[in-house]
Structure 1
Amino acid sequence: MSFEVIPAIDIKQGEVVRLTKGVMESAKIYDTNPCEVAKHFEEIGAEWVHIVDLDGAIVGKPVNLEIVQEIRKQTHLKIEVGGGIRNEEGIKRYIDAGIDRIILGSVAMRDPLFTISMAEKYPIVVGIDAKNGFVSVSGWVEQGKMQAAELAAVFKDVQLEAVICTDIGQDGTLSGINRVFSEEIAKASGHRVFASGGLANEGEIEDIMRSGLLSGVIVGKAFYEGKVNLEQVFKKINRISDKIRE
């Protein structure tokens, strides 16, 4: 499978925002039209978009489904969605809307057996978000007692699309992805792992890609703050991938 760079759209009260270290009060608004942002990503060469329903993550059920449906209608992007999806009904609502991958986070920690059973029926990604090595849930406001690597190991040898891991302490800081943490999750889970949280610049993307230990990165604030030119990144990744295949 090729290395994937996936731009992120976090939605809070209908707007595109980014948080710092997962603190809801830190939300900075970058655009009031998530659909236009998604269309821009498609125009510059993105194949996927990573969407998080922040409101849904807090209340425990999808809140911004209509916005996601509109993005589905107006783009040809592949879409993965997380935030407040805690039962099969929530999963099916997104599947019926044409969403390609469903991210389960809080429920993955609270009910791994349910998550595994859903992954046998639907394209499920497990989201592992951690603070100081311990899993956080419910929109990152509730600190769990399980270590992230321990949770990752629960899903080893089971059917999953991928794992997305986020070091909350790095998220939104532009100080670099926690590579040690991300690679630990990859080893423990045995799945394709996408690193998220704190990406600093384009060089970091290339370093991670060349290491061959991770399957991709999620790009959020680094794009919105102008630290990463995604159009150039997509072109460069295609060139590097061609060379690797040679």
Structure 2
Amino acid sequence: MILFPAIDLKDGRCVRLVQGDMAKATVFNDDPAAQAQAFEAQGFEYLHIVDLDGAFAGKPMNARAVESILAEIHIPAQLGGGVRDLATIDGWLGKGVSRIVIGTAAVRDPELVRRAARLFPGRIAVGIDARDGLVAVEGWAEVSTLAAVELGKRFEDAGVAAVIYTDIARDGLLRGLNVEATLALAEALTIPVIASGGLASLADVERLLKPDCAKLEGAITGRALYDGRLDPAQALDLIRLAKAPA
């Protein structure tokens, strides 16, 4: 299991939102590159970056901050937010992003996902952000009539590397992951699924290491890391111990 520390970017700074509400942003670090370096130094092996402004604008808005992060880290990073066309995907991959996360465009323009997955094998993920099981788009500002499982199934044969499933109702609230809904999606798909939204403590990490969660690729953690509820060393030690041969 991979534990992905999240860097959410708003106005060039690291923030955390509550249920995707841009008006409820807490700034945790004015220097995204320094935050990324800190996560790498703590032992994390893969970074999750979101351009929040880009998700609303439909185009990259925090490019300078993302580029500063990429210049300072040696671990891979996946990036989402404002990715709506092949030129943007190609540009970010060329600048060192390891994997691109496509969210809104996966609903509005599914062929983009298919073309990108063919052109960049293993480097395209789909972000499924759901409220009450229905997919939300445009930075979570709009809720569609499309069920999360239905969207995931549309890309079963597309060569997508992963699906990142976020329960919006839990995101930023530290109430724990929606393991039940995440596992239901994982069981319905052959694509690896990453859990997101609400990871609150070491108990969530322990839950993800149970046998029934073995199918999950990992989980994203944000606010719990920033406010100290989740100790990085303890969490990563648990994961390493679980991976060690018996």
Moved over 3 A (4+): none
Query: Following superposition of structure 1 onto structure 2, how do residues 30-179 of structure 1 map, counting pairs within 5 Å?
Result: 30-122=28-120, 123-179=123-179
SS at the partner of 2:216? Answer: coil
Provide the residue aligned with 1:215 in structure 2.
217
* In 2: Cα distance, 1:161 partner to 1:42 partner: 23
Provide the residue aligned with 1:17 in structure 2.
15
Scaled by the length of structure 2, what TM-score is found?
A: 0.95
Identity of aligned residues (%): 39
Counterpart residue identity of residue 202, structure 2:
E
1:184-225: CA deviation from partner (whole Å, max 9, x where unpaired)? 221222111110000121121121122313221000011112
1:46-100: CA deviation from partner (whole Å, max 9, x where unpaired)? 1111000001001000111121111111110211000000000110110110110
Q: Gapped runs of 5+ residues in structure 2? A: none
Alpha carbons 1:209, 1:215 under 8 Å: kept: no
Counterpart residue identity of residue 101, structure 2:
I
Which moves more between the two structures, 153-162 or 102-111? 153-162
Q: Gapped runs of 5+ residues in structure 1? A: none
SS at the partner of 1:120? Answer: helix
* In 2: Cα distance, 1:155 partner to 1:31 partner: 36
* In 1: Cα distance, 2:224 partner to 2:244 partner: 25
RMSD: 1.0
